[in-house]
Amino acid sequence: MSTNNIAKNTAFLYFRMFLILFITLYTSRIVLKNLGASDYGIYSLVGGIVVLFGFLNSAMSSATQRYLSYDIGKGDLINLNKTFSITMTIHIGIGILILILAETIGLWYLNNILSFPVERTKAVNYVYQFSILSFLLNILQVPYNALIIARERMKVYAYVSVIEVLLKLFIVYILIYIKDDKLIIYSILTFTVSLIIRLIYQIYCRRNFIESKYKFIYDKEYFIELISYSGWNLFGNIASVSRNQGNNLILNLFFGTLINAAYGITMQVQSAVNIFISNFQLAVNPQIIKNHSVGNIKESIKLIVISSKLSFVLTLILISPVILNIDFILEVWLIDSPKYTNYLVKWCLICLLIDSISGPLMTGIQATGKIKTYQAVVGSIVFLNLPISYFLLKYKIINTPNLVFYTWFIISIISLFIRLYFMKTVLNFNIKEFLVKHLSKLLVISILSFTLIKLINTYLILDDLFKVTFITTLYLMIMIIIIYFFGTGKDEKVIIKKLLKKIIKK
């Protein structure tokens, strides 16, 4: 394992993350202010329908990433070019299929089932069409992104992502001076940004990676292997996309577009936190797969355990101050946030905390290529989010928008333990050791963390910047102490002490 590479790549990705986080949160406020809560809800909802068809693309993305990293790990450049070309052909096919689905089933659902103000019908259809075009560009961008990540060129990935959010910030400022229908103009400008980013990735790859020169290759056996691997990923991705975007449709069905605005803001926060979680995992994932490709299974498992634990701790440190100060943050960020936004954001962040452990486990299982039963079982369980939420809301057993995240939370915990079982099956993973040495410690620091948040919110009113800054700083200091004493083992404490000694000497 190249520790220096992982550290350097993580640094680039976190630079990207902090800038994207700031700009994303800021632009959300400006867009909400300029579009209004109803139009913002419409944009979130309509874009979600297009993303709903993205389960095909998500499945193939995982396969592309896995096979490119595998070929690079083995040093097989000839097969690497073949993998890139065949995956590009498959993505073109996926794009055509999604276009057909979106312009038939999706268009019918948009105009016959979806709930939105009648006078916004024209704008809704414009947003839908440009959302489709933006999504098609993102599909064709996947093989280039996957190649950059597999080559561990995180510096490039970080810089292009920064360009993307800066362009999005620019179009938000354009909105301020637009007098025509802002919702339509915003969808057109968003498509333009997608086109520019797609061209940047393609030009960079063409100039730096000889294997990115696309040519049509017909290899029936390899094509079937890729499709078969993707096919089982497909089921898992249908479940995941259905949960994220299907929740939005369920909320629209029972509560209307204003709740979609709250959910849209929640998904903005989710996206920002997911960037944080995925940044560390993006730096480690290629190493997990490459170690597995050369038979270094012990090192691969070691990376999986370390990255699972670190992902959880880093996510906890990020989300706990947000949960602690959610009302103050929403007031400063959005001024007048839609009803239920604070509760939806809190529960969404807690769900992401659970899911942060699972990411490296999924990479470990996918590295083996033995994903058939895994995807069938886990995908089926994740998919239960929708029917359970629908049933409970339909019959008013629990009649609150928060329900979609209550369901998500419970199913995420169940899914985590099932993933551990499959890790044991395909990699001879020691579940007992993981539970006793690692997961138990994560549980302790989580309980202490959220108990502390509850006590602060019960006895203190955090209503000005000084109080928020002081209490949050104090809270984080206490959290770091808790993590050190209750969340780390003897070996990890030794490493931390060595690092601190080096820092003090400098």
Where exactly are the structural domains of the chain? 3-428, 437-506
Instruction: Give Cα 119 to chain centroid, integer Å.
Output: 34
Q: Token pair 């809704």 is at which residue?
A: 124
Q: What's the chain's average pLDDT?
A: 83
SS3 state of residue 171: helix
- Band of pLDDT at residue 506, cut at 50, 70 and 90: very low
Exposure b/e, 337-346, CB count within 10 A at least 16 = b: bbebbbbbbb
Confidence of residue 12 (pLDDT cuts 50, 70, 90): low
Cα–Cα distance measured from residue 187 to residue 191, given in angstroms and rounded to the nearest whole number = 6
167: pLDDT strictly greater than 80 = yes
* pLDDT tens digits, 76-130: 778 888 888 988 998 898 889 888 988 998 889 888 877 777 888 888 888 889 8
CA of residue 29 relative to chain centroid, distance: 21
pLDDT tens per residue, range 233-250 = 777 777 777 788 788 889
- pLDDT at position 13 is 62
Q: Which two tokens stand for residue 147?
A: 């190649």
Residue 277 scores a pLDDT above 80: no
CA gap 296, 12 in Å, rounded: 27
Q: What is the pLDDT of residue 17?
A: 65
Residue of 149, 176, 388, 126 lying closest to 281 (CA atoms): 149
Please give the pLDDT value at position 381: 93
Q: Is the pLDDT reported for residue 151 higher than 90?
A: no
Read off the pLDDT of residues 284-321 as tens digits, 9 standing for 90 and up. 777 888 788 777 888 888 888 888 888 898 889 889 99
Residue 344: per-residue pLDDT: 93
Q: Which of 22-31, 131-140, 399-408, 459-468 has the lowest mean pLDDT?
A: 22-31
Counting Cβ atoms within 10 Å, is residue 163 exposed (0-12), middle (13-18) or buried (19+)?
middle
Q: How many residues does the chain have?
A: 506
Residue 2 predicted with pLDDT over 60: no
Which one is predicted more confidently, 51 or 375? 375
Of the candidates 16, 52, 304, the residue with the CA atom closest to the CA atom of residue 149: 16
Compute the average pLDDT of residues 46-58.
61
Per-residue model confidence as pLDDT tens digits over 394-452? 888 888 899 999 999 999 999 999 999 999 998 889 999 999 888 999 999 999 999 99
pLDDT band at 1 (very low <50, low <70, confident <90, very high): very low
Residues in CB range of 414: below 8 A, 6 or more apart:
381
Question: Residue range 452-456: average pLDDT?
Answer: 91
pLDDT for res 10: 59
Cβ atoms within 10 Å, residue 105: 13
pLDDT class for 73, splitting at 50, 70, 90? confident
